[in-house]
Structure 1
Amino acid sequence: MRYRAPSREAVEPGVFGRLPLAAWREYSALLEGTPWPSIAALNERLPADAGTRFLAQTPTLLADGLHYEQRIAEHGDIATREGNWHDLLNALVWLRYPALKQALNQRQMAEIARMGPKQRSRSQYALTHFDEAGVIVALRDRALLALWDAHDWHGLFWRHRQAWIDGSIQLEVFGHALLELALSPDKLLVGKALVFQSSGDLDAGQLRATCAEAIASGQLLRDPLELRPLPLSGIPGWHPGNGDETFHRTTVCYQPRRAGREYPPAYVC
C-alpha cells in the first residue's frame, strides 16, 4: 500500500526531536510551523548563485511538456507541489545537498538521452532509489562492513553498538521519501546506503563532495544492487525499543541476506 503522510496538523510534534528529522533542525520553521511554507519562502533559502529555483507545480507549468529532470537541467526549475510533505522535504534536500542533487540530475539526463523518456535503465533505478531513500555512510572498521554485508544485524547494531555512538560510523540521511516516512513514528525505517571507507574521521562537507563527484562521474549508482539496505531503526537513539537486545533478535526490519546477494566494496576516500 502506498504510504500517505499525515496531514500537517496531525503530525506528532515529537518526531521532529527524533532522528532522522532532528538532524534537520535548521529548517524547523519550514517543518514545524502551522502554515505550509510558501514557494517564495523556500526560494529565500537558496543562495544567490544557486542556479535553481522552486516553482509551484501547476497545470500551466506542466504544459511545457518537459520531463521533471529536463526542466531542472535546462531551466533550473524544480517543480514543487505546494502543501505536500514529499516535495517540501525534497526542497530541503536541495537546500542542504545541492551538489549531490545536481549530480543525480546530470546522470538522469544522460540516461534519458541514451534510453529515451519512456524507458528506464538499471542506472536510473539506482539513481532514483538513492534520491528517495538514500543514506551516505562512512566507516573506518572493515570488520563492521563484513557484519553488514552478512546481514548480521545483531552484531552490527548490538554487539558493536558503541561504533554508532563514538563516531566509528558516520551517516547522513539524504533520501526525502525516507524523511517523509519518519513523520509517522510507528514506521521502521530502512535506507538504501552508499558506503565510504575512510582511515580517519571525514568532514561532512568532504564526504558530501566525494559522494557527489563519484556519482557525477558514473563511478557510483550504476546499478541498484550497489545499494546496501540499512535498517536505521537499529541505530542507538533512532527507535525507542532498540535499547533492548530482544529488538535486535526479533524486529521485522532486519531481513536475512538473500542467497547469492553480494555487495560491491566500499568506496575508498
Structure 2
Amino acid sequence: PIAADKDVGIKLVTYTNPSYGTDKIVLAPGITSAEQLKGETVAVLEGGLTQIFMAEWLTDNGVGIDEVTFTNLIMDDAVGAMVGGTAAAAEFWEPFGSQVLEAMPGATVAADSTEEKYITTAMLGDALYMSTAFMAERPEDAAKLTRAYFNAVDFWKANTAEANQIIADGLQFTVADVEQVLGSTGEILKGGIFVFDRDQAAIFMGLKAGELPLGIVADGMQNHWDVTTDWWLKFGFIDKAMPMAAGVDTTPLAAALK
C-alpha cells in the first residue's frame, strides 16, 4: 500500500513465505506486560510488517500506538538497542531474536508469529516485488524470473542440505543460522517460516482454488492488503486507501504457473 500510495513504481508479484515463529516480540528484562511499555521506546522496521505486528500486539493488550515511541531500526541495530537499553521492546526475526535472548538474561518473548491471528492471515512474511517498468517492458523475463524463483524453491525442497549451504555461503551466515529460519527438511518449520511452492502461492494470491496448511486462508492477499492499508493510514504513512490492483500484479505468477 505504501508503494502504491507514493507511486514508486513497484508492485508485489507474489507472497513467498509466511512467518511461522521466526518473528518475535521481545521484552527487555523487567518488562512483563504491554502496559509497562507506555512512554517507552519500541524498535521495529518502520513501514514494514513488523511494525504492524507490534501495533496489533500493543492494541490487543490495551496500549495505543500513540502511547509508545516507535524507533526505526534494522535488525543489527535493533539488537544493539535492546542490549544497550535504548529500547524496552523490539520485533526481531531469526537469527536475531535468539541472539538477543542469549545476550540478555531475563528478556522474554511476548508474542510470536505462530499464533493463530498471525499465521492464518499470513500477516508476517516476505514477497517478490518487481518494478512496473520491468513488467511492462519485459513481461517474458518477469515470468522467467518468477518461474526461476519457484524452481529454486523446488530445488531447496528436494536438496535441502545442499541448498541451505548455498544460502549460507551467499549470506555469509552459518548453516545453523539458515536452518533456524528454513529448517533442514524442506518442510514447514515451526519457529521459522513456511516457504510457499508455486501452487501454494497461487492459492494465497487467488489464482487457483485449494487449501493451505496451518489454516492459512485461501485468496488471502486481499485481506492482507486491507489490514496493512488500515494500519498505514493510522500511522500516517499513506494519504489514502488504494485498490489492491494499484500495488499487486500477479501476471508474472500466472505465467509462471504454465
Identify the TM-score tier after normalising by the shorter chain: under 0.3
Larger RCO (alpha carbons 8 Å, 6+ apart): 2
Q: TM-score, normalised by structure 1?
A: 0.23
